[in-house]
Amino acid sequence: MKLKLAIVAFFTCLAGNMLAQVPPLERIEPAFWWVGMHNPKLQLIVHGKNIARYAVKLNYAGVKLLRVNKVENPNYLFLDLEISTAARPGTFAINFTKPGEHALQYQYALKSRDHSVNRAQGVTNKDLIYLIMPDRFSNGDPANDSKPGMLETAVNRDSIYYRHGGDIQGVINHLDYLKDLGITTVWLTPEIENDEPQASYHGYAVTDHYKTDPRYGSNELYKTYVEKCHAMGLKVIKDLVHNHVGTEHWFIKDMPMKSWVHQWPKYTQSNFRDAAVMDPHASPMDKKIMLDGWFDHRMADINQNNPYVQNYLTQNHIWWIEYAGVDGFRLDTYPYNDAAYMAGWAKKVKAEYPRFSIFGETLVWSVANQAFFTQGNTVNRGFDTQLPGVTDAQVKDAIAEALNGKDGWTDGVHRLYAILAQDFMYQDPTRNVVFLDNHDMSRFYSVIGEDFDKYKAGMALLLTMRGIPQMYYGDEILMKNYSNPDGLVRLDFPGGWPGDKTNKFIAGGRTAKENQAFNYVKTLANYRKNCTALQTGKLMQYIPENGVYVYFRYDTKKTVMVAYNSDTTSRVVATDRFAERIKAFNTGINVLTGEGLPTLKNISLPGKTTLVIELKK
C-alpha cells in the first residue's frame, strides 16, 4: 500500500509541477482532420493549463460537438465530434470560454482527402522491402544534426550509442541507389520524435506522435520523401509502436489520468514470454506481466484498455496515412499489445484504406506461436486478430540452419522444408515478411561465418521464397557484426556522410567482393521484380535428399526451379522425381548467370550453392 501511495504521490506531484508550466492552450491533437472519412467520429485531445475549467463551443455545418469529456487531470479535455457526410472542407473556430478569463480559440481545419491511386496502395508479395535505420544510413542535411533545446544534442559517430546525423534527406538522396538494386519498398525505423536524454536514435521511444524528429527533418519533408518514393515507383512502410512510449513524452510527463499507462506498485518489466499469452495452462500473473510489464525504465507501457488511449493511437495512425500517403505499417512488439484493441484497430484502418498493408513483429519461437497472432483463428485461438501477416522469424532461423547445419532427419536443410510444411497454420503465409536479419539481430553475413558461397545461397533462398522478402541496409555490400550489443549491427553505411573515406553507394567505392555481392542481389531482385512466378506464384517443395533441397515457384506464365545444395561437395541431381513440375519443359536458363541448360535430365549443383533456373519449353 505504501508503494502504491508513493506512485500516486509521484504522479500527483508531477502533474502539479506541470500545472504551472502548461500554457492555457498548449495543443490540440489531431491538429486537423479530413472530411469524407469512413468513421464520422473524431476525438480531440486538448491540453492546456486548467483547460477543463473552460466551456467549449463550435459552430460549423456538418460538425457536431457530441460530448466534452473531463478526466482526472484538469489540464485535459477530450472532445467528441461527429463529422457528417454534409461537412465540407474549411476552417472553423473551437472556442474555449471561462468567466473572468480571456477566451481561447483554436482554428480547426477540415481538409479534402487525397484519393490518388498511388497512396496507401499496400505492400504485397510482389514487393522487396529494404529496411533502413535513418540515423545510420546517410546524412543529407548536416544542419539538422543537433537541435538546441532537445535532451540529447551530442553527435558522435565514434560511439554506437550516440546519434550519428543520418536523416530523411539522406534517404531521399539515395532512392536511385535502392531503385537500381531492385528494391520496391522502403521501411524506415521510426522517424517520429524521440526526445529522450540518451540512445534514442533507434526511434522506438516516441515523445510526440504527430511530429517527425527534427534531427531527421520535418513532417513536410517526410511527406516529400513519400511522394518522391511514389514518383519513382517505390512504396513506403511506416514503423509504429503501440505498446510503449518514451517517458519524456509530453502526455507521460503530464498524464491525463493514472490509467493512461500500466501502473505497478514498483517497477515491473515484462517477462518477454509470449507463450504466457497463448498457454492454456498459463498463470494469469505471468500473462499480465508479459502484456502489462514495461519494456524498459524509459519506455512507459501504454494501457490499451483505456478508451481514450485507443482513440488517440488509432486516430494518429490514420492521420499519418492520410497526411503522408504511406502504403503499409510494420507493428513493433506485436505480441505485447492488447489483442482485442489491436483487432479493432486493424478493422478501423482497413475500413478507411482497403488496400493498406499491415504486418506485426513476432520474434517468437515456433510456427504455431507465429500463427497464433495472425488473422483467421487458424490455430484455435477462438479469436480473430485481423493481422494479415507477421515477420517470419521461423523461416529466417530455418534458412540459417539450412546454410550452417548438418544434414539430419530434422536438421540442416530439413528444418527449412519442415517449417514451410507448416504453412497450413496460416490463413495466407504469402503475407508474411521473410528476412535474414534486421536492426535487432546479428547480421546475416556474420551468422554464416562470412562465407561468400553461403551468402549467395541464402540471398537466393530469400528472394525466391514465398512471402514478402525484406533486406536490411548494407546486406548487399556484406556489412557484418554480431548484435552484442545491438549498436554493432547499426553501423553507418559507408559513403553516407560528407568526407567518408569510401563510398559504397557507387561501384568504384566497393571492393571486388562487395560489387560481386551487390550485383548478385541486383540481378536476382530485378529478375524477381518482373517474374510473377516468384511474386505470387504457387510453391511446391520436395523432401530434401542427400543435402539437396528443391522447390518450384510457378504460375501460368513461368516456372522457376530453385535447387540448393547444402553439402560442400558438388552433386549431380537427377530430376526424374520432379517430373510432375518439369515434364512440360526441356531446357532452362540460370537466372543469375544467363547460362543455358540444354537438358533438365540431370543438373550439376556445386556445393553450398543455390541455383535459380527458369524452365523453358
Residues 6+ apart with CB under 8 A from 173: 138, 140
Question: One of 141, 254, 274, 332 is an active-site residue; which one?
Answer: 332
**Extended beta strands in 384-447, E state:** 389-390, 433-435
HEC-encoded secondary structure of 66-113? EEEEECCCCCEEEEEEEECCCCCCEEEEEEEECCCCCCEEEEEEEECC
- Alpha-carbon gap, residue 179 to 236, rounded angstroms: 13
* Burial (0-12, 13-18, 19+ Cβ within 10 Å), 38: exposed
Q: In the structure grid, which three cell numbers stand for residue 1, read together? A: 500500500
For this structure, is 361 an active site residue?
A: yes
Nearest of 48, 540, 416 to residue 250 by alpha carbon:
48
- DSSP letters, 528-566, are HHT-HHHHT-EEEEEEEETTEEEEEEE-SS-EEEEEEE-
- Polymer length of the chain: 617
Question: One of 361, 423, 437, 614 is an active-site residue; which one?
Answer: 361
Q: In the structure grid, which three cell numbers stand for residue 263, read together? A: 501502473
Nearest of 348, 341, 344, 267 to residue 301 by alpha carbon:
267
Longest dimension (CA), the chain: 93
Nearest of 18, 11, 80 to residue 45 by alpha carbon:
80
> Could you tell me the CA-to-CA distances from 591 to 363, 479, 528, 578 in Å, in that order?
33, 25, 10, 19
> Residue 94 forms beta bridges with which residues?
58, 106
For this structure, is 327 an active site residue?
A: no
In 236-301, alpha helices (H)? 250-253, 275-278, 284-292
DSSP 142: G
Residues classed as catalytic:
332, 361
